[in-house]
Structure 1
């Protein structure tokens, strides 16, 4: 069983990077889905990171791929999905990259959606929630073929 802690969209609120690690010290992986607005790349040490639409000065990839217990996972910020037919665009990206789990941010709204063998996870925003959601991050657990997600509220 592996634990992946996922955050996104802290928009320069740098204390959130350490807050999440302190709250989840037993994580196997820490993922940042973009829009950290970190002053420098080293602030993101320990995170698998991608570039968000507000990370202008950071030299980060637009997408990252890794595998956990044989499950291929893709990370992207999500600004290119649009708001109409969003899930179709997400599915297209997953299938083109031969992945089963998509971790993304951008909307500032938590989401956990399963569509057959595909999973779409957005941790929400640690700093600027939208749509009536709370400030949050996600804890994704992969145990063999079982994938679960729990959203953690930031007090």
Structure 2
């Protein structure tokens, strides 16, 4: 199963990001969309799970956090990394945005992933999304795609 991960769109969805998401089974959006029609556009590619970012208040209809199981992998999705706290014992992957800096880091038994920002990268990174591969109920690969 292939999961596309985006965050920090800030009102723009580059065509390169939509192209890079082609073929994914699900899209996770970690917030700061700012324009709900961008979520509708993402929905034309694959089903979307989105959480609200700090710039989304009153702009999109999304929860502050989500905890889906996708492909047998339990996720916690938030916008800001400081909102994670201590993940529940069954959480395998935390997805967040907010920093605009790509992250693929294992801490204990939890993998932390930030796709970076599609429009406003920071820390010397390029505009990016992440593609996660799930096989047999586990994360097999995470790669970043420059958009």
TM-score interval for Structure 1 and Structure 2 normalised by the shorter chain: 0.7 to 0.9
- In structure 1, the gaps of 5 or more residues are 82-88
What stretches of structure 1 move > 4 A for 4+ residues in a row? Answer: none
Q: Which residue of 2 aligns with 1:152?
A: 145
8 Å Cα contact 2:132-2:139 kept in structure 1: no
**Aligned to 1:62, which of 45, 61, 64?**
64
In structure 2, the residue matched to 1:77 is 79
RMSD of aligned C-alpha atoms? 1.8
Q: Output the CA distance in 1 between the equivalents of 2:79 and 2:26.
A: 17
Query: Deviations along 1:29-82, whole A, 9 cap, x unmatched?
Result: 0111100111xx353132211000000212210011211222111111016x0x
User: Given the two structures, how large is their TM-score scaled by the length of structure 2?
Assistant: 0.85
What are the residue-to-residue correspondences of 1:5-154 with 2, within 5 Å? 5-13=4-12, 15-16=13-14, 19-38=16-35, 41-45=36-40, 46=43, 47-57=48-58, 58-78=60-80, 81=82, 90=84, 92=86, 94-95=87-88, 98-144=90-136, 145-154=138-147
- 1: CA distance, partners of 2:129 / 2:28: 10
For structure 2, the 5+ residue unaligned runs are: none
Q: Using structure 1 for the length normalisation, give the TM-score.
A: 0.81
Aligned length: 139
CA distance in structure 1 between the aligned counterparts of 2:11 and 2:37, rounded to whole angstroms: 14
